[in-house]
A and B are shown apart, each in its own frame.
Chain A
């Protein structure tokens, strides 16, 4: 145990935790926006897998990470439009629709991988880390906090931006209104459909970037790459009480526990035979947290309810 509590290991774990938190954070923030507008998207995981594959494939073919990220984002946007048509246009039941999107993403990314790539191959270049001048020179803390990929910085920058969007902009007010009482918004001439479409597309785009961040961080794609990460991101929205800072706390907690488990396995603090069980620690943590926090803050009142003018 004492090996873990050394400065270098602790800060390395912190750095890994932040890195691992990135896809959770991006996907969770996107889902937050969607849910605040009243649309539940359980398909996040599927969208992440699709984006991850296409970003990976792009990177593999072109070695252009910018283009790969753009493709990942684009796939998210397309899936957002698809999900919007399903849930806003045709008012499909959102729980089942989301599962459908998940299954499609899981299957189609696998299929494309088998057809187009076949054997797992590393991309020529992984997502590079960017050291922030001066700040990254701080001993220990510097490398842990200020030596990450651009997507990680972006994810954390999104926290205040999403907060600002929701609380200080007219569009954010519309999002909240539509998620709480769409009839009221409609009666004032706010287009419920337009607000929800936009929110879903932003949310899915962020899920797409989350998948991209995950795959470009690993440098390699495999079927079911996310292993339920997208579902955890949905849970983090509840954990974070539909607020960006709360989602960030949840994502960080999740990343840090994951990093700690990895570190303890490496240091053999956790015996080998326990290693699989230990890997489920973050999931158990989520369930415990959700049970403890259940009912403290109520979800958007119109969450998962299609809007029909009558």
Chain B
């Protein structure tokens, strides 16, 4: 690609994009120069994805002008974007798991042996790229066999293979351990030094401050700030992002810890594939404490949540007790009656029914109770009153109680689930990835609610991949690795480095 020294790699000017009822991008300006990491910071729905889809030719802007190296272009398709040196690393990996690394990399490119594929030539170039940028990978292995961090490398290689000079990285660190993030940032630095332009999309403020040269903050489709890490700290960035002051760490008043409410002893269980997912796990959660489970996804957290909820069978000899009631394989009804509230990881699969209305989802568990039905008929007036109260209390933003749940934002659906789960007055709260994909405002609120439950004497078990979240709300943090607890650390003495090492299975932590 010819490089004109004066003009920036990318200039987007006055980009406007309307969708029915929504102004997704409102006259956005973005300038990225070669050799810089430019962060796009914003909440879900702020317009980052729309802007990047326009850059990648997936959407056409209604207004505005895009220049690449000073030259005005109309990016009509992803192919056009790729040809002009734009590479996109999507948040959800765009890989075909059944194909090899080389096949994934070469997909859609010209083969030197057309119509046949040329795995040898591709592999050689992949090796060249991986050596140059420190992206170690075996080109002949199928992608489904790779760990998450490796899959990400394949994504980057895919872009570099197409000679991308400008790379868009959409929340690339969401799935990485702290150490992997460090390695990843080194790779990014290497690319920056070799003259690539990088657009880094994230809402993890710590990382944004660590890696960025320039930061553009978006809110509600508009640019609300342009700054650098030197000018703004994390709190100022959060404020630009949300539009008001945010507390990144909720107040946690000291609470007397009571008796164990959730007891797990010698728990072993298998995954859906039949492999050992939980391996002789022991854990206690006591009344009035939040225990966080840290770990890279896929180390048994999902299975742990399902066993505790009574939804997954465990091996002989496993003990899981909720307030003394056996939960193993007991089914959701029993665990709920024992006092459990469960906020599942996959909120649209296990937590709520998208096609149902807000009120239907709010009474999904209790609609058969005397309060909400008599002789098999639903008592709509009472349901409405109850739901109205919950919606107000938990600040669920919805046009009405009869709104289809799937039309709400992730944060509001999560608040709805939390409202339903907490309405029953639980004594044990199990929340898996409670703020994943949720905007900062809603996350702040959800954290406050979890702390409020703890203050009331509920035993809370929070599973999360977000260490900042766990450090902010937990009293103790347990790290899971390959189905075992690597160590449990009191939150006030826990360090990101120490937890990160345990997440990678390196060191056993000292018990708190």
Residues 397-417 of B at the A interface (beta carbon under 8 Å) = none
Q: Is the CB of B88 closer than 8 A to any CB of chain A? A: yes
How many whole Å from A183's CB to the nearest CB in chain B? 6
Per-residue CB contact flags for chain A residues 176-204 toward chain B (1 = under 8 Å, else 0) read: 11001101111111100000000000000
Q: Are A176 and B114 within 8 A (Cβ)?
A: no
Q: Are A189 and B96 within 8 A (Cβ)?
A: no
Q: Is the CB of A296 closer than 8 A to any CB of chain B? A: no
Contact of B117 among A173, A183, A188, A189 (CB under 8 A): A173
Q: Is the CB of B98 closer than 8 A to any CB of chain A? A: yes
Q: Is the CB of A227 closer than 8 A to any CB of chain B? A: no
A residues in contact with B115, CB < 8 Å: 169-171
* Known contacts A173-B107, A188-B107; A183 and B116 CB within 8 A of each other: no
B residues in contact with A188, CB < 8 Å: 78, 82, 94, 107-109, 158
Contact of A190 among B97, B108, B111, B117 (CB under 8 A): B108
User: What total count of A-B pairs have CB within 8 Å?
Assistant: 68
Per-residue CB contact flags for chain B residues 87-126 toward chain A (1 = under 8 Å, else 0) read: 0101001111111000110111101001111000000000
Q: In the bound complex, how far is the Cα of B88 from the Cα of A168, in angstroms?
A: 27
Central interface residue in B58, B90, B117, B158, by most chain A CB within 10 Å:
B117
Q: Are B108 and A181 within 8 A (Cβ)?
A: no
Contact of A173 among B88, B95, B103, B158 (CB under 8 A): B103
By beta carbon, the residue of chain A nearest B82 is A189
Residues of A in contact, count (CB < 8 Å): 20
By beta carbon, the residue of chain A nearest B119 is A168
Q: Is the CB of A115 closer than 8 A to any CB of chain B? A: no
A residues in contact with B99, CB < 8 Å: 173, 176-177, 180
Q: Is the CB of B448 closer than 8 A to any CB of chain A? A: no
Q: In the bound complex, how far is the Cα of B79 from the Cα of A174, in angstroms?
A: 15
How many whole Å from B389's CB to the nearest CB in chain A? 36
How many whole Å from B98's CB to the nearest CB in chain A? 5
How many whole Å from B113's CB to the nearest CB in chain A? 9
Q: Is the CB of A309 closer than 8 A to any CB of chain B? A: yes
How many whole Å from B108's CB to the nearest CB in chain A? 4
Q: Are A186 and B107 within 8 A (Cβ)?
A: no
How many whole Å from A14's CB to the nearest CB in chain B? 35
Q: Is the CB of B297 closer than 8 A to any CB of chain A? A: no
Contact of B94 among A168, A173, A187 (CB under 8 A): A187
Q: In the bound complex, how far is the Cα of B95 from the Cα of A183, in angstroms?
A: 9
B residues in contact with A187, CB < 8 Å: 56, 78, 88, 90, 94
Q: Are A173 and B106 within 8 A (Cβ)?
A: yes
Q: Are B79 and A184 within 8 A (Cβ)?
A: no
Q: Is the CB of B449 closer than 8 A to any CB of chain A? A: no
Q: In the bound complex, how far is the Cα of B266 from the Cα of A309, in angstroms?
A: 47
Q: Are A184 and B107 within 8 A (Cβ)?
A: yes
How many whole Å from A24's CB to the nearest CB in chain B? 26
Q: In the bound complex, how far is the Cα of B287 from the Cα of A105, in angstroms?
A: 68
Q: Are A186 and B96 within 8 A (Cβ)?
A: no
Q: Are B117 and A168 within 8 A (Cβ)?
A: yes
How many whole Å from B76's CB to the nearest CB in chain A? 11
By beta carbon, the residue of chain B nearest A309 is B58
Q: In the bound complex, how far is the Cα of B86 from the Cα of A188, in angstroms?
A: 11
Q: In the bound complex, how far is the Cα of B194 from the Cα of A297, in angstroms?
A: 44
Q: In the bound complex, how far is the Cα of B96 from the Cα of A171, in angstroms?
A: 15
Known: A177-B96, A185-B107, A301-B98. 16 other contacts (CB 8 A): A168-B116, A169-B117, A170-B111, A173-B106, A180-B97, A181-B95, A183-B94, A184-B93, A184-B94, A184-B95, A184-B104, A185-B108, A187-B88, A188-B78, A189-B108, A190-B107
Q: Which 3 A-B pairs have the closest CB atoms?
A: A189-B79, A188-B108, A184-B94
Q: Would you list 12 pairs from A and B whose C-beta atoms are within 8 A, ordered by A residue? A: A168-B116, A169-B117, A170-B115, A170-B116, A174-B107, A174-B108, A180-B99, A184-B94, A184-B107, A187-B88, A187-B94, A189-B108
